[in-house]
């Protein structure tokens, strides 16, 4: 048992990579390759469930830590570990990957082997981002996510895929070199890449020249993460990438890759530079508000349904950033929870769009209409997921948005009020889109005979639908472990709003009152 606890993170992280290596020597039999990829991603999911199962709630700091020296000059460690925040993001990643394999079963026909190799490498890199506690190692994984994703978009994407892939690559690459510079600066002045060591050194004020440099360091990290989130005005790569990406690419992009940005903001920007975070919070929150509102408004007028969902991501991730920079217990809790929610509901939405695309090979809303008649099961799933995305009470989206809005109100009322309009907007654009796609008369005769979801597609949707519901009804299953870690992360801010912030129990009570139980 001890052995497993000590190595479980390494196992979870590198299982997909080992799978990718095995796939590389696999014969080119597409069917077997698909089954193998599914198998390895399911095994990874099972292995990753070890984490929440054996996680000890309420402990400060990181668990399942593994800290081995890797490179002696400079002093780089292979340091992995999770807390309540990153644990669920890891599980989210391992949860979405098998579903992505399922959804690509038929839609990826050419170069199947390469596709699944890249997907598994991507999974390893994504998990690595969430578990790395050494800044170098973090950057290592961070950059490693870039190539597989760009290739997935560029090779298996739609029409303007090359443009989208290159844009995605350059945006992220250029932004992250600034983070690299900041990481190296920290190393040079602290002699360590270790997240915990660097954080403690900063808190104890031991770093020479930190006062003048911290502004730039904060910005270095911030730019890298803000592009990934993406925060207005750095979001322009996202619609292109989403529209052109194959379904599985979109799911992973929206479901996990964007979370790397918000996770980075919370872990590194807020964790390492509390003073600078507080100082910069006003304009960051304004950017978040602009993201929420402009993302929603732009989404509303999109004729392309995938682009519409892509812009909703901008809006929803704006909520997350808002929650993080409220520095309130409840707001950050909500932000972490909303990251998971968004992964589940937007991931599911992209999968549903993928199914539409497989049938009609278009994302234009005007090409659809009246789909509820030929595809009742599909329409039901869509309704369900859409409601979770809108934030209907009893669904996951509601919990996250509710907590974030409470936090925003505590931070400053006007933020809460403005952000709350985002909830209304999201109902507008999603319902309106739903109406145009599913209701009304069938305007295009081809749509009359569309096939409803088959068994494979249903199997890939059920887990997400169930997750959306359970996360809405019993958020404490997650918040129990998220809450203490957030409290720990917010310690440097304790002088501020936190005195008034309620504990997890309060949140639950307030929440249960709202949903009337």
Partner 1 sequence: MIPTVDYIRILPEVVLAIFGILVMLVDPVIPAQDSKKPLGFIALAGVVAGIAATVFQSGYYGLAFFNTVRVDSFSIFFHIVVLFVALVVVLSSLDYLEVQQIKAGEYYALVLFATVGMMLMSSAIELVLIFIALEISSISSYILAGFRRRAAESAESSLKYFLLGSFATAFFLYGVAMVFGATGSTNVYFIAEVLTTQHSVLTYLAVALMFVGLGFKVASAPFHVWTPDVYEGAPAPVVGFMSTGPKAAAFAVLLRVLFATGAPGWFWLVWISAALSMTIGNIGALVQNNVKRLLAYSSIAHAGYLLVAFAAGQTMGISAAMFYAASYAAMNVGAFAIVAHLAGKGERYVTLEDYSGLGRRSPLIAALLTIFLLSLIGIPATGGFFAKFYVFSAALQSNLVGLTIIGVINSAIAAYYYLRIIVYMYMRDERAVEAPVAPIPFSLGAGLVISLIAVIYLGVLPNRVLDYAIRGAQDLMK
- Bridge partners (DSSP) of residue 304 are 364
Rounded to the nearest angstrom, the gap between the alpha carbon of residue 406 and the centroid of all alpha carbons in its chain is 22
* Nearer Cβ to partner 1 (216/432): 216
* Nearer Cβ to partner 1 (162/377): 162
What minimum distance in Å lies between the beta carbon of 336 and partner 1? 27
What minimum distance in Å lies between the beta carbon of 75 and partner 1? 11
The answer to whether 62 touches 83, Cβ cutoff 8 Å, is yes
* Nearer Cβ to partner 1 (243/336): 243
What minimum distance in Å lies between the beta carbon of 188 and partner 1? 5
* Nearer Cβ to partner 1 (71/474): 71
The answer to whether 335 touches 266, Cβ cutoff 8 Å, is yes
CA distance 315 to 234: 13
* Per-residue burial over 423-449, b = 16 or more CB atoms within 10 Å of its CB, e = otherwise: bebbbebbeebbebbbeeebeeeebee
| Closest alpha carbon to 247 in 353, 151, 93 | 353
What minimum distance in Å lies between the beta carbon of 486 and partner 1? 29
Binding site for partner 1 (CB under 8 A): 70-74, 110-111, 114, 136, 139-141, 143-144, 146-147, 150-151, 154-155, 161-162, 165-166, 169-170, 173-174, 177-178, 180-181, 184-185, 187-188
Q: In three state form, how does the secondary structure of 39-104 look?
A: HHHHHHHHHHHHHHHHCCCCCCCCEEEEEEEEECCCCEEEEEEECHHHHHHHHHHHHHHHHHHHHH
* Nearer Cβ to partner 1 (114/367): 114
* Nearer Cβ to partner 1 (17/232): 17
* Nearer Cβ to partner 1 (141/311): 141
Q: Is the peptide bond before 499 cis (omega within 30 degrees of 0)?
A: no
* Nearer Cβ to partner 1 (159/516): 159
CA distance 110 to 475: 41
The answer to whether 486 touches 333, Cβ cutoff 8 Å, is yes
What minimum distance in Å lies between the beta carbon of 39 and partner 1? 23
* Nearer Cβ to partner 1 (155/371): 155
| Closest alpha carbon to 244 in 168, 170, 171, 144 | 168
Residue length, the chain?
517
* Nearer Cβ to partner 1 (144/450): 144
Our separate counts of H helices and E strands in the chain read 22, 2
Task: List Cβ<8 Å contacts ≥24 apart for 161-166.
Answer: 161/244, 161/245, 163/240, 163/244, 164/237, 164/240, 164/241, 164/243, 164/244, 164/245, 165/241, 165/244
* Nearer Cβ to partner 1 (128/400): 128
What minimum distance in Å lies between the beta carbon of 189 and partner 1? 9
What minimum distance in Å lies between the beta carbon of 321 and partner 1? 24
* Nearer Cβ to partner 1 (128/391): 128
Residues 6 or more apart whose Cβ sits within 8 Å of residue 368? 305, 356, 360, 436, 437, 438, 444, 447
Would you state the structure tokens that stand for residue 343, as one six-digit string? 């992964």
What minimum distance in Å lies between the beta carbon of 194 and partner 1? 15
| Closest alpha carbon to 280 in 234, 247, 246, 327 | 327
CA distance 6 to 198: 23
* Nearer Cβ to partner 1 (163/432): 163
- Bridge partners (DSSP) of residue 77 are 69
CA distance 326 to 84: 19
* Per-residue burial over 297-312, b = 16 or more CB atoms within 10 Å of its CB, e = otherwise: ebbbebebbbbbbbbb
What minimum distance in Å lies between the beta carbon of 145 and partner 1? 10
């Amino acid at each position: 048992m001890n052995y497993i606890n000590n190595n479980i993170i390494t196992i979870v992280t590198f299982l997909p990579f080992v799978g990718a290596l095995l796939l590389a020597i696999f014969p080119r039999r597409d069917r077997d390759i698909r089954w193998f990829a599914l198998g390895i991603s399911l095994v990874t999911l099972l292995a990753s469930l070890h984490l929440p199962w054996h996680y000890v709630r309420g402990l400060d700091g990181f668990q399942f830590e593994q800290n081995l020296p890797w490179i002696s000059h400079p002093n780089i460690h292979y340091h992995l570990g999770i807390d309540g925040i990153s644990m669920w993001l890891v599980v989210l990643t391992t949860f979405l990957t098998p579903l992505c394999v399922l959804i690509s079963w038929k839609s990826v026909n050419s170069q199947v082997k390469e596709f699944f190799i890249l997907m598994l490498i991507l999974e390893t890199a994504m998990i690595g981002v969430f578990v790395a506690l050494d800044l170098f190692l973090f950057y290592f994984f961070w950059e490693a996510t870039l190539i597989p994703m760009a290739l997935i978009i560029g090779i298996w994407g739609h029409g303007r895929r090359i443009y989208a892939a290159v844009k995605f690559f350059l945006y992220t690459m250029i932004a992250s070199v600034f983070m690299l510079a900041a990481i190296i600066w920290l190393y040079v002045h602290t002699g360590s890449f270790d997240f915990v060591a660097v954080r403690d050194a900063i808190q104890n004020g031991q770093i020479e020249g930190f006062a003048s440099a911290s502004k730039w360091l904060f910005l270095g990290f911030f730019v890298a993460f803000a592009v990934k989130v993406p925060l207005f005005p750095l979001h322009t790569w996202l619609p292109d990438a989403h529209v052109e990406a194959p379904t599985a690419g979109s799911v992973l992009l929206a479901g996990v890759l964007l979370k790397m940005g918000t996770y980075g903001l919370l872990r590194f920007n807020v964790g390492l530079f509390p003073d600078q975070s507080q100082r910069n919070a006003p304009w960051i929150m304004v950017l978040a508000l602009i993201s929420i509102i402009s993302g929603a408004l732009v989404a509303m007028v999109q004729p392309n349904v995938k682009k519409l969902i892509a812009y909703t991501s901008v809006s929803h991730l704006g909520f997350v950033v808002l929650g993080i920079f409220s520095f309130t217990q409840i707001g950050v809790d909500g932000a972490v929870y909303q990251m998971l929610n968004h992964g589940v509901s937007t991931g599911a939405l992209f999968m549903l769009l993928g199914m539409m695309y497989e049938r009609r090979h278009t994302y234009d809303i005007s090409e659809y209409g009246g789909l509820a008649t030929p595809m009742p099961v599909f329409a039901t799933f869509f309704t369900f997921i859409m409601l979770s995305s809108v934030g209907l009470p009893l669904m996951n989206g509601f919990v996250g948005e509710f907590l974030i809005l409470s936090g925003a109100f505590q931070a400053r009322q006007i933020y809460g009020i403005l952000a709350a309009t985002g909830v209304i907007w999201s109902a507008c654009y999603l319902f309106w889109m739903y109406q145009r796609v599913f209701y009304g008369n069938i305007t295009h005769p081809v749509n009359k005979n569309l096939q409803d979801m088959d068994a494979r597609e249903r199997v890939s949707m059920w887990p997400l639908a169930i997750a959306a519901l359970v996360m809405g009804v019993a958020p404490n299953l997650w918040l129990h472990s998220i809450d203490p870690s957030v409290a720990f992360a917010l310690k440097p801010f304790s002088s501020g709003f936190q005195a008034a912030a309620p504990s997890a129990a309060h949140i639950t009570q307030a929440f249960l009152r709202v949903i009337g139980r």
